[in-house]
């Protein structure tokens, strides 16, 4: 029965794809016609000054068309030079590199980081789940996800869920989408953003590791993307988004989130907490030995996450510009400081600085600086690094024990707490000196003080994010539980998911 549904689903996608290919063909002549100006007399060429200004826009990451003269109706009075409507090589190169770096965070960074922390009988299940999510989310992204998040024009749900203009990535070409970047191809931008959509649900895997059915994970993630991630990403990053404080002048909440404190870390972290409570504790928790089976893999994965995160954070400038440069610096500072402070606290409290402490500190630093990296200065990053080494530590070491939930690999302690802290600290530490774009729509919110009005906007965004993640996850988890069940049989869990669900073992003695 299941097989028929899968086959039907694949056939539906194929049909959709072929339909959109046909649609492209019929549109082609029309598009060519609109490219050539409708007014019959050819416009004069742009002046040398205008052409130079368009080139300078490439260096400054601004709009190359701004220098071209227009009449009172807004129609151009000169023909655009060849620098308009195309990607800039440097910016595009950095964004393709960044997209690959962000994918590298999931495959293999995250699966090694998480995989080392589980018992040896479950290492392959983590890898399978990460790969499964990469494929599934890519399909959703192409079919409707990218459009739901980044399409402009009238939203299907105003400010929350975009329209289907870019469904099947129709019209997403190598030309830039100037709502998001003047010099980056939209197809590159869409693939870059896809990598965020892949890693976010993969982060949830940490909380539910070693005890959720593979099929249930796929169904849960599919629904969660549609009902939680796509709406949240549209709200925060979509040009019409109701929480896009930086670029949407009409945003009802003037919040800011540079690389995904709310969209990625809070959404996954809070959902992870809810899902791991609904799922229940692992068999034998907390009596049995759940020690990580390979701290070496975890440490390797952490290094890959740190390196990949430069694409995540500095890449979120969607240009190789000064904002990206600032994000690169603040990411380094906060991460290095947090990776030092966390084991230092352990050393003081427990007597030994552990490798897992270094790794956890690094990830916590990366999480907390994520929403802030493009908006804070070096000293702001230093403060963030210190707090990121202390507060998530406290949640992993103390709070988890007090409440007794089985957040297996501390997704909540690191990502939910880190993301929430990051969103708040971004509100307190965002400075005009770090990012000139803050002056565009947020002049009265960012006043360069610790308790500037932006803090209140951030608190509103935090509330909405937690609400959406918690309610969405409760609803989806119970739907999946009713439909196909979420927990494997006890026997499967004790044998290990690798052998029982995937028919393989990670390690053999021969």
* 179 scored as a contact of another protein (CB under 8 A): no
- Candidates 260, 445, 457, 456; CA nearest to 366 is 260
The string of DSSP letters for 460-499 reads HHHHHHHHHHHHHHHHHHHHHHHHT-SS--HHHHHH-HHH
Q: Exposed, middle or buried by CB within 10 Å (0-12, 13-18, 19+), for 188?
A: buried
* 284 scored as a contact of another protein (CB under 8 A): no
- Taking the complex as a whole, the smallest distance from the CB of residue 400 to another protein amounts, in Å, to 5
Select 403 or 451, whichever has its Cβ closest to another protein.
Answer: 403
Q: Pick the binder of another protein from 290, 306, 358, 405 (CB under 8 A).
A: 290
Select 124 or 396, whichever has its Cβ closest to another protein.
Answer: 396
Stretch that binds another protein, among 135-143, 349-357, 381-389, 439-447 (CB under 8 A): 349-357
- Taking the complex as a whole, the smallest distance from the CB of residue 114 to another protein amounts, in Å, to 13
Residue pointed to by tokens 């803050």: 438
Select 328 or 394, whichever has its Cβ closest to another protein.
Answer: 394
B/e letters for 320-339, b = 16+ CB within 10 Å, e = fewer, are bbebbebbbbbbbbbbbbbb
Rounded CA separation 227/242 (Å): 16
Quick note: the x/- pattern for another protein over 292-331, rule CB under 8 A, is x---------------------------------------
Q: Pick the binder of another protein from 9, 286, 436, 463 (CB under 8 A).
A: 286
Stretch that binds another protein, among 169-177, 217-225, 273-281, 346-354 (CB under 8 A): 346-354
B/e letters for 128-144, b = 16+ CB within 10 Å, e = fewer, are bbbebbbebbbebbbbb
Stretch that binds another protein, among 40-48, 222-230, 283-291, 314-322 (CB under 8 A): 283-291
Positions 64 through 93 that interact with another protein (CB under 8 A): none
The Cα-based distances of 380 to 334, 342, 384, 415, 417 in angstroms read 9, 18, 6, 20, 18
Positions 369 through 398 that interact with another protein (CB under 8 A): 396-398
Quick note: the x/- pattern for another protein over 98-127, rule CB under 8 A, is -------------------x----------
Q: Pick the binder of another protein from 155, 257, 321, 410 (CB under 8 A).
A: 410
Positions 183 through 202 that interact with another protein (CB under 8 A): none
Helix, strand, coil percentages (3-state) for the chain, rounded to 5, are: 65, 0, 35
- Taking the complex as a whole, the smallest distance from the CB of residue 282 to another protein amounts, in Å, to 12
Q: Pick the binder of another protein from 25, 289, 491, 503 (CB under 8 A).
A: 289
Query: In the structure encoding, which two tokens stand for residue 26, read together?
Result: 């019929």
- Candidates 89, 83, 80; CA nearest to 35 is 80
Residue 183 CA from chain centroid, whole number: 21
Select 119 or 460, whichever has its Cβ closest to another protein.
Answer: 119
* 356 scored as a contact of another protein (CB under 8 A): yes
Select 39 or 291, whichever has its Cβ closest to another protein.
Answer: 291
- Taking the complex as a whole, the smallest distance from the CB of residue 477 to another protein amounts, in Å, to 25
Residue 77's SS3 state is coil
- Candidates 405, 447, 412; CA nearest to 430 is 447
Quick note: the x/- pattern for another protein over 235-274, rule CB under 8 A, is ----------------------------------------
Residue 157's SS3 state is strand
* 400 scored as a contact of another protein (CB under 8 A): yes
Element (H, E) at 231: helix 230-237
- Assess contact for 305 and 109: CB atoms under 8 A: yes
Select 131 or 397, whichever has its Cβ closest to another protein.
Answer: 397
Q: Pick the binder of another protein from 350, 403, 479, 490 (CB under 8 A).
A: 350
Select 66 or 349, whichever has its Cβ closest to another protein.
Answer: 349
Residue 133's SS3 state is helix
Q: Which residues bind another protein (CB under 8 A)?
A: 117, 286, 289-292, 350, 352, 354, 356, 360, 396-398, 400-401, 410, 413
């Amino acid at each position: 029965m299941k097989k028929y549904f899968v086959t039907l689903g694949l056939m539906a996608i194929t049909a959709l794809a072929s339909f959109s290919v046909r649609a492209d063909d019929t549109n082609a002549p029309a598009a060519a016609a609109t490219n050539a100006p409708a007014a019959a007399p050819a416009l004069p060429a742009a002046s040398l000054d205008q052409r130079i200004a368009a080139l300078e826009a490439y260096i400054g990451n601004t709009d190359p068309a701004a220098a071209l003269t227009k009449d009172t109706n807004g129609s151009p009075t000169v023909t655009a030079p060849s620098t308009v409507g195309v990607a800039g090589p440097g910016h595009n190169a950095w964004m393709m590199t960044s997209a690959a770096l962000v994918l590298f965070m999931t495959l293999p960074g995250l699966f090694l980081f998480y995989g080392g922390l589980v018992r040896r009988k479950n290492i392959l299940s983590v890898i399978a789940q990460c790969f499964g999510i990469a494929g599934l989310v890519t399909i959703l992204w192409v079919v409707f996800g990218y459009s739901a998040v980044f399409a402009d024009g009238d939203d299907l749900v105003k400010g929350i869920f975009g329209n289907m203009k870019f469904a099947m990535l129709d019209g997403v070409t190598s030309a830039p989408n100037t709502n998001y970047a003047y010099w980056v191809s939209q197809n590159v931008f869409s693939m870059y953003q896809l990598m965020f959509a892949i890693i976010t649900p993969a982060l949830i895997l940490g909380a539910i590791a070693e005890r959720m059915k593979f099929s249930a994970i796929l169904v849960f993630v599919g629904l969660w993307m549609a009902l939680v991630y796509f709406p949240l990403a549209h709200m925060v990053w979509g040009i019409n988004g109701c929480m896009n404080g930086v670029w949407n002048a009409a945003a009802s909440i003037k919040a800011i989130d540079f690389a995904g404190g709310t969209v990625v870390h809070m959404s996954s972290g809070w959902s992870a907490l809810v899902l791991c409570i609904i799922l229940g504790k692992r068999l034998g928790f907390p009596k049995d030995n759940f020690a990580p089976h390979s701290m070496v893999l975890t440490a390797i994965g952490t290094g890959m996450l740190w390196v990949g995160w430069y694409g995540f954070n500095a890449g979120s400038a969607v240009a190789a510009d000064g904002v990206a440069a600032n994000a690169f610096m603040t990411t380094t500072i906060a991460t290095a400081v947090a990776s030092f402070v966390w084991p230092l606290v352990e050393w003081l409290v427990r007597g030994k600085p552990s490798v897992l402490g270094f790794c956890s500190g690094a990830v916590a630093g990366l999480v907390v600086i994520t929403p802030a990296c493009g908006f804070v200065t070096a000293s702001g990053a230093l403060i963030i690094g210190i707090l990121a080494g202390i507060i998530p530590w406290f949640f992993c070491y103390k709070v988890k024990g007090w409440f007794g939930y089985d957040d297996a690999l501390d997704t909540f302690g690191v990502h939910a707490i880190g993301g929430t802290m990051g969103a708040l600290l971004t509100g307190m530490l965002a400075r005009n000196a770090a990012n000139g774009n803050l002056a565009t729509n947020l002049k009265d919110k960012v006043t360069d003080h610790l308790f500037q009005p932006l803090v209140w906007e951030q608190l509103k965004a935090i509330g909405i994010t937690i609400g959406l993640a918690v309610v969405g996850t409760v609803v989806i988890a119970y739907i999946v539980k009713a439909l196909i069940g979420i927990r494997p049989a006890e026997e499967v869990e004790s044998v290990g998911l690798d052998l029982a669900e995937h028919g393989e073992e990670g390690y053999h003695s021969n």
